[in-house]
Structure 1
């Protein structure tokens, strides 16, 4: 895995890897142009949860749950494939054709609220590492209660 990506994910509690044949079977069954760096990350970690730098909490879903977690959102987000959440109301996805990263609320994910958050996986992780800014411009300070899901 790229050393820059490793630095971003160093504080994640990662999952146990799955069998490489099973991993390939899952990924090949999904109609999405997954970026190679994301696939390398998922292959090595099988997802995980935690803070990215001083920024946001993220829960990257394990490969074996990706399809099931996307079933409920398919009709609302046909151009996107969800890969993670913030443990609350925000989903992180890949644009199926372009392979770029976006963020949007689980409730009401229309084009007006979809935010482009990275052209490549490393850029997406850099976005996640930025402190969360509230609508009034102040930084949100996380506490232990925010980490429980």
Structure 2
């Protein structure tokens, strides 16, 4: 993980690393290839929880939780093409897997529908910057 990403993670509780095999199984199970910057983050830390910047609190789910919570939230039924990766408690954050850009989007848990999707960033680093500036 590069320093430009780590600077946003100083107040966040980081999990332990995971294996490339777990990452690949998760991607297969969700039918997605995560972007490289997120892959590096999730492989090194396998999730995190805490503050990013002065006003943002976020939970980045572990790989095991990603699969379970996408199923529990009914993503395939209510917002097909999204892959949820975390939350701020009121909204979910997801990769939009409907096209190759895989932008990171926000969608409400209640009323989860594709017309409620708001784009936050095009890369994981941009997403951390977005959260930092909220």
Q: Structure 1-normalised TM-score?
A: 0.80
Quick one: distance in 2 between partners of 1:60 and 1:26?
A: 15
Q: Structure 2-normalised TM-score?
A: 0.88
Deviations 1:70-99 (A, max 9, x none): 01322111121000000x220000011331
Question: Are the structure 2 counterparts of residues 41 and 107 from structure 1 closer, same or farther at C-alpha, using a change threshold of 3 Å?
Answer: same
Quick one: distance in 2 between partners of 1:19 and 1:102?
A: 26
Number of residue pairs matched by the alignment: 130
Question: SS at the partner of 2:78?
Answer: coil
Quick one: distance in 2 between partners of 1:43 and 1:33?
A: 13
Asked if 1:109 corresponds to 2:117, the answer is: no
Asked if 1:49 corresponds to 2:43, the answer is: no
Q: Give the conservation status (yes or no) of the 8 Å contact 1:33–1:99.
A: no
Quick one: distance in 2 between partners of 1:79 and 1:37?
A: 20
Structure showing greater radius of gyration is: 1
Q: How does 1:52-63 map onto structure 2 within 5 Å? A: 52-63=52-63
> 2:5 maps to which residue?
5
Quick one: distance in 2 between partners of 1:115 and 1:63?
A: 23
**Over the residues paired in the alignment, what is the CA RMSD in angstroms?**
1.5
For structure 1, list consecutive stretches of 5 or more residues without a partner in the other structure: 132-149
For structure 2, list consecutive stretches of 5 or more residues without a partner in the other structure: none
